[in-house]
Structure 1
Amino acid sequence: MSTTTAQQKLVDAAVAQWNRIDIVVNCVGVAVNKPLEEQTLEDWDQLVNINGRGTFLLTQKSLPHLTKGSGRIVNIASISSRGPPPNQTIYAGTKGMVDSFTKCWAKELPPRYGCTVNAVSPGPTKTEGFATAGDEQMKILQPIIDQTPVGARMAEPEEIAFAVAFLCEERARWINGEHLVASGGLFID
């Protein structure tokens, strides 16, 4: 999603298959785990373009096809946007951008599109991306993970998927602008 054309291709494929878009889940994210002094402009461009611009463009390109009156937009932010660990300056900033998109769009888009806009912020989750954090970053993150009140572990991907699915249900039609933190109590705002 780092290009400026991938989002339109994804939307076109969905519309060709189903003639509409009911749900948009902006679940894109890459992280760079380095001390601030070592983060580069290349890191900046990669994370801002994927995490920020990708979310912005996919939502924008989806709007003309979003099911009026029942569409759902769910942005995947991160607890790093509100409680970042060391070495995630750019990642935390881009996920803060996604958090702000959610707040803005939750006010702007429902009157025009009849949709809801919410965010889910996972804590550490067993994903392929998290597995690439590296040994040095895991030395920082493991003690944090071990403090998770619900259990000293990372989330399973299906636990995060459930939070997203909840926000997409018809019965969640009155939930808008919510920032649902799915971290086992690791971060409580």
Structure 2
Amino acid sequence: MPDFKGLELTGKTAIVTGASRGIGAEIARLLGKRGANVVVNYVSAGSQQRSEDLSKTIREYGVKAVAVQADISKVAECPKLIEAALGISETGKVEILIHNAALGVDANLVEVTEELFATHFDTNVKGPIFLTKAAEPHLPQGGRVVFVSSAAARLGVAGQTVYAATKAANEALARVWAVELGQSHGITVNCVNPGPVATDQWNESDEQFRNDMKPLIDSTPAAARIAEPNDIAPLVAFLCTEDARWSSGGVLCANGGLYN
């Protein structure tokens, strides 16, 4: 008889930031489908209904789910997510923390402003740092922290001066925290590294940027297409499992082979 116990997430509780749409929504849905209770994080009031609907879908899998509005770029709002997770946890712990929320506005170097720099680093770097700090007392042995990084951290794509820097910072944090939270806490920390994905962010990007990306997309080893969110979520879910216990501080290719 097949045995998939090392892959299931039954009884665990997860926080997924930026989960109202795109990759984050698919991650939240899949974690719930595999047995986890899920905090669906969203930022703006315009995303509330989507997040509530997603939470309802997740609850239909027989687990708990709650939509929580919190802007992780504001340190004072991070505890809201921890409190919500503890409220639905069956163990009194938060076993899984997914750092997915991110800003990604395209801007060449000459177009970068202090505001763009500050907003991106506040959401993409400061947010994960202080949310993980708030979660640390509640992460148990066997806990999992996963970043959704980006191929932009390594490829050198024009127009992504700030975004690429934040994603490279995420990968650096994973390496550092794998050491800090490993032997002392029994927690693994990893990244998945998507390339272009068919999300609202992609669809709303500048047409010239998408045209510039076409040769890269056409050269993707796995297939000449951009990814779908359901290409990315299973890799994130795997890193949350017991079977992934010996992976920490690493970056898992989720970009069709564009860069490993």
TM over 0.5: yes
In the other structure, the counterpart of 1:97 is 169
User: After superposition, where does 1:3-152 map in structure 2 within 5 Å?
Assistant: 3-18=74-89, 19-67=92-140, 69-152=141-224
Letter in 1 for 2:259: F
After TM superposition, the structure 1 stretch with the greater mean CA deviation from structure 2, 94-103 or 105-114, is: 105-114
In structure 1, which of residues 157, 167, 171 is the aligned counterpart of residue 229 of structure 2?
Answer: 157
Percent identity between the two aligned chains: 37
Count, aligned residues: 187
Superimposed CA distance per residue, residues 20-78 of structure 1 (whole angstroms, 9 cap, x where no aligned partner): 201011112111212210111110011000000111111111111112x2100111111
Corresponding residue SS for 1:111? coil
Distance (whole Å) between structure 2 residues aligned to residue 133 and residue 55 of structure 1: 24
**Deviating 4+ runs (over 4 angstroms):** none
Corresponding residue SS for 1:145? helix
- Measured on the aligned residues, the alpha-carbon RMSD in Å equals 1.1
Letter in 1 for 2:199: T
Superimposed CA distance per residue, residues 135-187 of structure 1 (whole angstroms, 9 cap, x where no aligned partner): 12112112211111111111111111111111111111111112112111112
Distance (whole Å) between structure 2 residues aligned to residue 85 and residue 179 of structure 1: 19
Distance (whole Å) between structure 1 residues aligned to residue 205 and residue 133 of structure 2: 31
In the other structure, the counterpart of 2:239 is 167
Distance (whole Å) between structure 1 residues aligned to residue 184 and residue 80 of structure 2: 24
Letter in 2 for 1:63: E
Question: Which has the bigger relative contact order, CA under 8 A and spacing at least 6?
Answer: 1
Letter in 1 for 2:224: A
Q: What's the TM-score, normalizing by structure 2?
A: 0.70
Distance (whole Å) between structure 2 residues aligned to residue 172 and residue 156 of structure 1: 23
Distance (whole Å) between structure 2 residues aligned to residue 59 and residue 129 of structure 1: 25
Unaligned residue ranges in structure 2 (runs of 5+): 1-71
Instruction: Report deviation, 1:107.
Output: 0.8
